[in-house]
Amino acid sequence: MSSLRRQGDFTTLTRHVLTQMGSFSAEAFDISALMSRIALAGKMIARQLSRAGLVADVLGMTGTTNVQGEEVKKMDEFANQAFIRAFEQSGLVCRLVSEEMAKPYYLPENCPIGRYTLIFDPIDGSSNIDVNLAVGTIFSVRQQETVPGDDPDRDLLQAGHKQLIAGYLLYGSSTMLVYTMGKGVHAFTLDAGLGEFILSHENLTVPSKGSIYSVNEGNFHQWSVGMQNYIRHIHSQGGYSGRYSGALVADIHRILFQGGVFLYPGTQKHPQGKLRLLYENAPLAYIITQAGGKASTGKEDVLDVVPQSLHDRTPLIIGSREDVDLVLSFLHD
Ligand code: P6P
């Protein structure tokens, strides 16, 4: 279980990152500043969400569709712009990869100094906004690499093990930021009065087994026989609770704290499922794996998958190690 912090121990995000880096080198300060910019974008988004319904440009659609062919909500666009504004003139990040942008967005003023690429889903679960339910942001930081070949962005098409940092923001009853840089998983809660993310849970661990299964059972008849048999098994066993919010970040956050398994399987129509690898499944797999859990596509570890393109999708089975292994045992039968 996580260790709740003592009241009054004001460990800020920037200080925690420097502690994690174990140094005060220029690189450590760059990473700390980078995380601060992510936190700033998160605060801008949280503030806009808190005014939904009161001010224009929060609820509703923009009238455009994104590279995924999905209708873009006003908050999707606002959140995407918040990250662009947070990293312009920062000297930190040279390239942004977003669910909302077909191609990487270069920040030329930061290149080539900015050695990092930020990959993100600005608002995950945006259909929840109009009904005031939790939504999130998912982010991943990778080192910018020059690889042979004519495509300057080819270095992005590498496995999830290449991630330096992964995390998410959850805009729920409180606003939280959860991240890992390979040394455990840590959670911060936004103290709006201070305007700071304060460490609230350190070294989070996923329980080895849980009683929650999180899946959209409306797709049951489109799943493989193995996946259908797993769900039948769960129904017959009893002792499980179904929880599904429609926002990946909220459902994963519950699994991180309480254990269990989240599933977004492939279907006959969409064998790769719906969720995107680079800015949803890979960052969340890094977090859950760092917390002692497991993340699989059903065929291989999510972190081993090498994407063919920026917006590739994979099926996702993620959570407590024993629960994920139980699902896999039905798929491999
Ligand atoms: P469905 C939101 O659109 C999202 O990408 C995830 O946040 C969420 O887990 C999933 O899709 C919900 O998809 O098909 O169950 O509505």
3-state secondary structure 215-281: CCHHHHHHCCHHHHHHHHHHHHHCCCEECCCCCHHHHHHHHHHHCCEEEECCCCCCCCCCCEHHHHH
* Shared domain check, 168 and 68: yes
Residue at 1 is within a domain: no
Do residues 126 and 235 share a domain? no
Hey, which of 124, 171, 243, 262 would you mutate to test ligand 1's pocket, going by the most ligand atoms within 8 Å of its Cβ?
124
One domain, residues 218 and 244: yes
Residues 163 and 34 in one domain: yes
Asked, for residue 45, whether it belongs to a domain, the answer is: yes
How many angstroms is it from 123 CA to the middle of ligand 1? 11
Which residue has the least CA distance to atom 10 on ligand 1?
Answer: 246
pLDDT in tens, 54-67: 777 777 788 888 87
CA 248–ligand 1 middle distance (angstroms): 6
How far apart, in whole angstroms, are the C-alpha atoms of residue 192 and residue 92? 26
Q: Is residue 153 one of the residues assigned to a domain?
A: yes
In CATH, what number is assigned to the domain containing residue 216?
A: 3.40.190.80
Domain membership of residue 207 (yes or no) is no
Lowest average pLDDT, out of 43-52, 148-157, 160-169, 322-331, goes to 148-157
Q: How far, in Å, is the centroid of ligand 1 from the Cα of 130?
A: 15
In testing the pocket of ligand 1, which one of 65, 248, 261, 262 has its CB within 8 Å of the most ligand atoms? 248
Is residue 188 exposed (0-12), middle (13-18) or buried (19+ Cβ within 10 Å)? buried
- pLDDT, the chain, mean: 93
Question: Which atom of ligand 1 approaches the CA of 251 most closely?
Answer: 9
Q: How close is the Cα of 314 to the center of ligand 1, in Å?
A: 13
Residues with CB under 6 A from ligand 1: 124-125, 127, 216, 246-248, 274-275
Nearest to 136 by CA among 284, 330, 266, 289: 284
Rounded distance from Cα 286 to ligand 1 centre (Å): 20
Q: How confident is the model at residue 333 (pLDDT cuts 50, 70, 90)?
A: confident
pTM of the model: 0.95
Residues 279 and 172 in one domain: no
CATH of residue 75: 3.30.540.10
Of 202, 234, 256, the domain-final residue = 202
Asked if residue 260 and residue 190 are part of one domain, the reply reads no
Same domain membership, residue 227 and residue 144: no
DSSP conformation class of 189? E
For residue 239, what pLDDT is reported?
A: 94
Q: How far is CA 96 from the centre of its chain?
A: 15
Same domain for 190 and 255, yes or no, is no
Domain shared by 127 and 149, yes or no: yes
How many domains, the chain?
A: 2
Q: What residues have CB less than 8 Å from 220, skipping those under 6 apart? A: 228, 231
151 and 244 housed in the same domain: no
Per-residue pLDDT, 70: 79
Domain membership flag for residue 2:
no
**Claim to verify: residue 159 and residue 277 sit in the same structural domain:** no
Domain span at residue 319 reads 212-331
Q: How far is the CA of 29 from the centre of ligand 1 (A)?
A: 36
More confident residue, 85 or 147: 85
DSSP conformation class of 55? B
181: phi then psi, degrees, rounded to nearest 5 = -125, 30
Q: Is residue 110 part of a domain?
A: yes
